Amino acid sequence: MFDVKKIYEAKERIKGVVVDTPLSYAPHLSQISGCEVYLKKENLQVTGAFKIRGAYNKIATLEGAQKACGVVAASAGNHAQGVALSASKFGIKAVIVMPESTPLTKVNGVKNYGAEVILHGANYDEAYAYAKSYGEKNSLTFVHPFEDDEVIAGQGTLALDILEGCKDLDAVIIPVGGGGLISGMACAIKNINPKIEVIGVGAKGAPALKNSFDLKTAVDSLSVRTIADGIAVRDTSPITLGYMLETVDRFISVDDEEIASAILFLLEKQKLVVEGAGAVGVAALLHDKLEHLKGKKVAVVLSGGNMDVTLLSVIIEKGLLKSGRKMKLTVTLVDKPGSLMRFTQILQELNANIVHIAYDRTSISLDYGDANVTVHVETKGEEHQQIIHRVLKEENYIRD
């Protein structure tokens, strides 16, 4: 079992650098899930994610010669920023290897903390291999995102913060990617109160660690595909798997649709921007994956908030369509003066607000003299949409 003393030592090291983020009651989520839910808002952490805890603790424990040479890491996201900021606090060199496809905003975010960025490889695994080789050639200490005891100890401090803020919990729900966060947290939780249930939540699109946990042996996956890029880990770490098998009670998965709905829920109901990886615990509660917790007191870790705004806009748009607050319609009109005006007048009378309109008269599927009109309208729910559909059908704009 992981040495819990390392976690308490890490807590002392990170004081003054890492924020003790809010642990807040979530009334809407509690009502929906039937649990008494508290959200640990690590999306409000320095660099926007929990990763600073492990990165800073690791760098703080390096020997003088190691610090003098500097550190190297591979990451396209939160770990990169955690290492970069931690290195800047100690005034040492940091090199971060990021995949060539990494968005410019993330590259600039790491550079702003003073780190050198090398773009290499088509994915994380290629960047990781290059970073290991680069570190060996240039005498830089490699800071692994999860397969390192000092990193795990730093992540475990999050559990100490939660249990100090809420002492009578029944369960703690933790996002799982490589397993570093849950390894450290579960060790601390079971040491303080073994009766607290530790539940890991992963993404179905990155199944390696979940499969390994179920089989109790390390197996890798061929590929990963999920909007929760912060936990999109392809290969299983035997080290973190071993810790998890000792201390984690349950491990479940949620899919991308469930993750997206949780992101939108947190944005609307909690006024929080949470990335996909950080929202998986909320997704599990929203979609009844943990019904055995009804009536229990539960803490959920929101592990990060570094959400790609382009993806966020897509999630919002799809969410509006699913909830009946937006509707897309395509109708065929006779291409003559007044036809479009009559169509839009009907929508106006039905209190459907047009937010986008497109007019196509050249599609090869159209008869000559006709035109397709596509509109996006704001609506007031499913019943309102049914009324709009019925009226347009009566007016011969829609045919069965």
Map 133-194 to HEC letters: HHHHHCCCEECCCCCCHHHHHHHHHHHHHHHHHCCCCCEEEEECCCCHHHHHHHHHHHHHCC
Q: Which residue among the candidates 11, 51, 58, 210 is catalytic per the annotation? A: 51
Three-state SS at 375 = strand
Q: Which residue among the candidates 33, 190, 303, 326 is catalytic per the annotation? A: 303
Inter-axis angle of helices 208-215 and 238-247, nearest 10: 50
Cβ-contact 240, 232 below 8 angstroms: no
Q: Regarding beta strands 116-119 and 23-25, do their DSSP bridges make them parallel or antiparallel, or are they unpaired?
A: unpaired
Cβ-contact 143, 122 below 8 angstroms: no
Distance of CA 257 to the CA centre of its chain: 13
CA dihedral of residues 358, 364, 366, 370 (deg, nearest 10): 60
Q: Identify the CA nearest to 75 among candidates 37, 21, 131.
A: 131
Cβ-contact 121, 132 below 8 angstroms: no
- Cα distance between residue 54 and residue 83, in whole Å: 9
Query: 75 catalytic, yes or no?
Result: no
DSSP letter (8 states) at residue 225: -
- Cα distance between residue 194 and residue 64, in whole Å: 38
Alpha helices in 36-119 (DSSP H): 51-60, 64-69, 78-90, 104-111
Cβ-contact 397, 374 below 8 angstroms: no
Say which residues have a Cβ less than 8 Å from residue 250's Cβ, sequence separation at least 6.
197, 198, 199, 200
Query: 303 catalytic, yes or no?
Result: yes
By CB neighbour count within 10 A (0-12 exposed, 13-18 middle, 19+ buried), where does 370 fall?
A: middle
Work out the angle at residue 279's Cα, subtended by the Cα atoms of residues 86 and 274, and round it to the nearest 5 degrees.
60
**Catalytic site positions:** 51, 303
